[in-house]
Amino acid sequence: MECTRCRAAFVGADGRCPRCDGPPAQGAYAPPPQAPPQPNPYAPPQYGAMPPPGPGPAGTYPAPPLAPYGGGYPAMLRPPARLAGLSTAVTVLFALVAVLALLRVVADYRLYDALGSIWTTDLAEADSIDDFRATTIVLLFVGFLAAAPVFLVWFHKARANVEGLGRHRHSTGMAVGAWFIPFANWWIPKAITDDVVAASRGAQRPGGLGAVNGWWACWVLSSVLAGIGWPMYSSSMNESDPSLEGARTASLVLMGSNLALIGAGICAILAVRTISAVQDARFGLGPAGPAPGPAPYPGQGW
């Protein structure tokens, strides 16, 4: 007899439908026993569910701790670059520029002396002074062209290394672009350098490195004296109205400019080497590479 409810099974001897009225009776209507499920050896491993997000300790995911300086990198956008090699290159090139500036001082002094005794200076000596002076001008210009790109690469890397550290008044891109802005290149790169020094040392206030202050004072002084001396010399050597005293004064001004440039080169070498050493030590970037330490983000390396 079919079940009047489901029409899919027959009523048993006890009058109950095995599908609708409860567990089936033992007998012909009882389903075969089911084997217990066996684990699938090829199934991927199951992980526990993460706690649901929400307020309170149960729903809070703590941020991974930062690695200490010297034992790994801080949580930054990019790994810090080692500056020791670039620092050596900048040191050599700045020392070369300082030597060439010293030759310019000698050339300007010879011109100053010759203009004071022009009536006793023969033509061959005058030509020798002019040739030596022109050669030193070209050599100093070539020295600047060689040193400037290397220094800009170092300066940009030093600024990028501390991007996530401290307070910065100018962006990383300005570490290069600020040098090409007339007049603003007298103070914007100085501000960037002070911020880099503070961030590298972990200080709260910018600046604090005497070599940087000496570097910038000499650099600005050299630029100002050069801006005064060259127009003065060109005006005094005008063929229509030459002035020997004006030319001698201009030579003295240019000598002062080159002496200040030598001082700027020496102070810049000290500043570059100090900043490079501080950053390499802080980030653990010794000669053998970065010091071992945990990855800045869990499960992810550089």
pLDDT single digits (tens) 162-181: 887 777 888 888 889 889 98
Is 137 a residue whose pLDDT tops 70? yes
Is 4 a residue whose pLDDT tops 80? no
Q: How many CA atoms lie less than 13 Å away from 263 in the CB half-sphere? A: 18
What pLDDT score was predicted for residue 27? 45
Q: How confident is the model at residue 92 (pLDDT cuts 50, 70, 90)?
A: very high
Is 295 a residue whose pLDDT tops 50? no
Report the C-alpha gap between 185 and 258 in whole angstroms: 19
Give the pLDDT mean for 239-260.
87
DSSP secondary structure code for residue 165 in this structure? S
What pLDDT score was predicted for residue 2? 64
Is 183 a residue whose pLDDT tops 70? yes
What pLDDT score was predicted for residue 45? 55
Prediction pTM value: 0.66
Q: Which amino acid is at 134?
A: A
What pLDDT score was predicted for residue 200? 81
Contacts with 232 (C-beta within 8 Å, 6 or more apart), sequence order: 246, 249, 250, 253
What pLDDT score was predicted for residue 1? 61
What pLDDT score was predicted for residue 114? 84
Q: By three-state DSSP, how is residue 258 classified? A: helix
Q: Which amino acid is at 168?
A: H
**44-73: pLDDT as tens digits:** 555 555 555 555 454 444 444 444 444 444
Q: Burial letters for 49-80: b for 16+ Cβ neighbours within 10 Å, e otherwise?
A: eeeeeeeeeeeeeeeeeebebeebbeebeeeb
Is 292 a residue whose pLDDT tops 60? no
Q: What percent of the chain has pLDDT over 70?
A: 64
Contact 198, 192 (CB under 8 A): no
> Where are the alpha helices (H) located in the chain, listed in sequence order?
84-116, 123-161, 174-177, 188-201, 210-236, 244-282
Pick the residue with more confidence: 116 or 25?
Answer: 116
Is 141 a residue whose pLDDT tops 80? yes
Report the C-alpha gap between 201 and 279 in whole angstroms: 8
Q: How confident is the model at residue 24 (pLDDT cuts 50, 70, 90)?
A: very low
Please choose, from the candidates 276, 155, 267, 151, the residue with its C-alpha nearest in 3D space to the C-alpha of residue 214.
Answer: 267
Q: How confident is the model at residue 75 (pLDDT cuts 50, 70, 90)?
A: very low
Is 99 a residue whose pLDDT tops 80? yes
